[in-house]
Each structure stands twice: as structure tokens, then as C-alpha cells.
Amino acid sequence: MIRLFTALSLPPELAEPLARRQTGLPGARWRPTEALHVTLAFYGEVGERTADDLAAELERAATGGPFALSLSGVGAFGEGHRTHAVWAGVAPNERLNVLAGRCRAAGERAGLRLETRAYRPHVTLAYLKPQTDPARIGAWITGHNLLESPPARIDRFGLYSSVLTRDGSHYELEREYLL
């Protein structure tokens, strides 16, 4: 079994400004720059044959050509002492939503059951330890909530595997798809 997801890796002009914001929050386990991405669809644990079917189905999702992507704002998942991650937001983008929908449909055609929650594109910047002070989280968000990036060209997405380790998830690009 292999844990799979599709995502957009961030070009340097988006990743580097985010990396500079990854400071000043005690209890944060900042994600390395190479792990920063926008998830399109999460497939979970998949058998080898299904993974091959999924990879083939994703070829159909790789249409529409390149598009521009911008970052906008920051936030957190969870509330108070239950806050578990901080993220950078993605500016509303119809092309991104369509691509995410195509990646979900590719998973369904490959026989996978996907989560039904609404798609909320973001870049996870850090996972937070349970004892992270909510006031410090709020201060970090206030200090970075005006994040706005210029648009960056996105011309590909990837199928990634994910291995959970003590230090967080390690991602490996399994296949790349040009738009």
C-alpha cells in the first residue's frame, strides 16, 4: 500500500516568501520549503494496481493549459488549544478548482472513495504542538495576514507518495503531469 495525493509544487517565487514567514511561533514545526504545496486531491492508502489505474486516469485531468496562482492571507486549522496547523491561503481561482475536481474524478474512476469535505486550497506552513499558546498563534496570524503574492505560472501537477515519520511527512514525486 502506498499513501498518495496530487498537488501543485510551489514555484520559487511563491515558496521563498513563505519560507521567510516561517519563524516567530514557538511550538511550530515548520515544513521545509521543498514540502510546500497545494493539495489537489488526497487519495489515502492505495494498492499498487489501483495506483497504476489512478496514474493513468490522471492523464485525463491534465488539460486546460497553464494558469496563474496567487497566495492570499494566512490562517489556522482548529481553535484555541486545538489549533493544529498554520497555513497560507490561495486566492480564489476557478482553474485551480476545476483541476482539483478533475483529480478527484480521476480517483473515483480508479475506484477510490475520497473525502467529501469541500475543497479549501492552502499551503500548510507548520504543524503545531498541542501546547502551542493560542495567543502566540493569533499574534503570528495578525503579523502575516496581509500576505498577497503576485501571480505565478503553474504548468504542471504531480502525483506524490507520502510516508509518515516522527519528523512529519516525507513526500516523493511519483509522476508529473504537464497542463
Phi and psi, residue 10, nearest 5° = -85, 130
| pLDDT cut 70: percent of the chain above it | 100
Going by pLDDT thresholds of 50, 70 and 90, the confidence category of residue 168 is confident
What domain count does the chain have?
1
Could you give the angle at which helices 94-109 and 48-61 cross, rounded to 10 degrees?
140
User: What does the pLDDT read at residue 165?
Assistant: 83
Please tell me whether residue 173 adopts helix, strand or coil conformation.
strand
Most confident of 80-84, 163-167, 174-178: 174-178
Please tell me whether residue 136 adopts helix, strand or coil conformation.
helix
User: What does the pLDDT read at residue 15?
Assistant: 97
Q: What is the mean pLDDT of the chain?
A: 96
Residue carrying the nine cell digits 485551480: 96
Q: Tens digits of per-residue pLDDT, 58-97?
A: 999 999 999 999 999 999 999 888 999 999 999 999 999 9
Going by pLDDT thresholds of 50, 70 and 90, the confidence category of residue 166 is confident
Q: In sequence order, which residues have a C-beta less than 8 Å from that of residue 128 and are 6 or more positions away?
A: 25, 27, 28, 29, 76, 83, 84, 85, 86, 137
Q: What is the CATH number of the domain that holds 76?
A: 3.90.1140.10
Query: From the CA atom positions of the chain, what is the Rg in Å?
Result: 16
Please tell me whether residue 168 adopts helix, strand or coil conformation.
strand
pTM of the predicted protein model: 0.95
Q: Tens digits of per-residue pLDDT, 109-137?
A: 999 999 888 999 999 999 999 999 999 99
Residue with more model confidence, 12 or 116:
12
What is the pLDDT averaged over residues 150-163? 97
User: What does the pLDDT read at residue 175?
Assistant: 98
Q: What is the 3-state secondary structure (H, E, C) of 18-73?
A: HHHHCCCCCCEEECCHHHCEEEEEEEEEECHHHHHHHHHHHHHHCCCCCEEECEEE
Q: In sequence order, which residues have a C-beta less than 8 Å from that of residue 127 and are 6 or more positions away?
A: 28, 29, 31, 84, 85, 168
Q: Residue 161 is part of which domain span?
A: 2-178
What is the pLDDT averaged over residues 144-166? 95
